[in-house]
Amino acid sequence: MKRILTGLQPTGIITLGNYIGAIKQMVKYQDMYESYLFIADLHSITIPQDPNELSKNIKSLLALYLACGIDPKKNKIFIQSENLYHANISWLLECNTYYGELSRMTQFKDKSRKNANFTSGLLTYPVLMASDILIYDVDYVPVGIDQKQHVELARDIAIRFNKKFGETFKIPEPLISTEGTKIMDLVDPTKKMSKSSDNPKGVIRILDEPEVIRKKIMSATTDSDTIIKFDPINKPGISNLINIYASLSNKKIDEVEKLFVNKKYGELKKEVADLVITELTKIQSRYYELIKSKELDQILDDGIKFTSEIAKKKYELMKNKMGLHR
């Protein structure tokens, strides 16, 4: 059976973009692949976090995974910082990665531009991500398109390491679904919907109340035209709504276009809002039950036990190949 892995950062409540781009994909794939899903808490501290908030968000993200339909029997679920080998292996990989490669990453360029006082962790972030992926010899990495460049770097690092030290890693591939690869901000549809957005009106969070969701979608930015057509360059707002509709209804973009031929923008918005609210209220009611459950710790304990054994073997293999032994 082919293997997949992905992770999400526990920085605040996840967005509709995270859900469509990553979690919904994992739910779909869990019956087809051997699945690994983790909480990328080490990645989240590349930007300052409030420690109390962070620890709450870690548990909350796990409950959200399950509420969204992730089955703990079909996924190895764990917290990245509890598996000590991820950061150790990251160091071995860092010493085989060039500064030039890291400084060219789009996400690094964007984030470091916003805050001149960035940490070195922000620069080396993609190497830790390569470590997360390469440890488990995965075939595919389901991510939104914003993470594609990082997965490609993981491939480059793996190929280089294999060449230098002999066969050590499987070469992974990004797995990006056509619908919903990038959900955009509702206020500024030229930007991706992001947890760190300055304007909360543009971002739907998985735990937003139904009225809040409806309000955000009904006031989403569109254009002065009247035709409902998928054209991300000239009609980014409408295209984003079509994309959300397609992803949640499991329809193709052109099917959605046909459904809304001769309809008004207001009708599209109303139907998108109905769809999002139906999907998210189901998740929310499961979440509020799960967050109190004792089952969460057991899932994490099982996950860390299983994944630590695999990661330890990979670490020993790498150390031996690199001459780090007595």
Does 62 sit near ligand TYM (CB under 6 A)? no
Q: Tell me the sheet residues that pair with 5.
A: 36
For residue 15, which phi and psi values (nearest 5 degrees)? -100, 170
| Amino acid symbol at 76 | K
- Work out how close the CB of 264 gets to ligand TYM at its nearest, in angstroms, rounded to a whole number: 26
Helix/strand/coil for 193: coil
Q: Tell the burial category of 323 from Cβ atoms under 10 Å away from its Cβ (0-12, 13-18, 19+).
A: exposed
**Interface with ligand TYM (CB under 6 A), residue from 35, 97, 147, 243:** 147
In the complex with ligand TYM, which residue's Cβ is closer, 191 or 312?
191
111 is catalytic: yes
- Work out how close the CB of 148 gets to ligand TYM at its nearest, in angstroms, rounded to a whole number: 8
Does 146 sit near ligand TYM (CB under 6 A)? yes
In the complex with ligand TYM, which residue's Cβ is closer, 166 or 310?
310
Q: Tell the burial category of 191 from Cβ atoms under 10 Å away from its Cβ (0-12, 13-18, 19+).
A: middle
In the complex with ligand TYM, which residue's Cβ is closer, 143 or 206?
143
- Residue 227 neighbours by CB distance under 10 Å: 13
Residues 267, 270, 271, 276: what is their CA dihedral angle, to the nearest 10 degrees? 160
Of the chain, the end-to-end C-alpha distance in Å amounts to 37
Q: Quick one: DSSP state of residue 98?
A: -
Question: For the window 79-118, what string marks contact with ligand TYM as x by the rule CB under 6 A?
Answer: ----------------------------------------
**Three-point CA angle 136, 34, 194, nearest 5°:** 75
**Interface with ligand TYM (CB under 6 A), residue from 26, 37, 39, 40:** 40
263 is catalytic: no
- Work out how close the CB of 323 gets to ligand TYM at its nearest, in angstroms, rounded to a whole number: 28
Residue in this structure with the two tokens 């029997």, named with its chain if needed: 73
Tokens representing 293?
Answer: 């459950």
In the complex with ligand TYM, which residue's Cβ is closer, 84 or 324?
84
Question: Site size for ligand TYM, by CB under 6 A?
Answer: 24
**Interface with ligand TYM (CB under 6 A), residue from 26, 183, 217, 241:** 183
In the complex with ligand TYM, which residue's Cβ is closer, 17 or 72?
17
In the complex with ligand TYM, which residue's Cβ is closer, 110 or 295?
110
Strand 75-79 relative to strand 140-142: parallel, antiparallel, unpaired? unpaired
Question: For the window 218-237, what string marks contact with ligand TYM as x by the rule CB under 6 A?
Answer: --------------------
Q: Which is catalytic among the residues 74, 170, 182, 195?
A: 195
282 is catalytic: no
Q: What is the DSSP string of 241-256?
A: HHHHHHHHHT--HHHH
**Interface with ligand TYM (CB under 6 A), residue from 4, 18, 123, 222:** 18
Does 138 sit near ligand TYM (CB under 6 A)? no
Q: SS3 sequence, 15-60?
A: EHHHHHHHHHHHHHHCCCCEEEEEECHHHHCCCCCCHHHHHHHHHH
In the complex with ligand TYM, which residue's Cβ is closer, 83 or 147?
147
Binding stretches for ligand TYM (CB under 6 A): 5-9, 17-18, 20-22, 40, 43, 129, 132-133, 141, 143-144, 146-147, 182-183, 192-193
Return the active site residues: 111, 192, 195
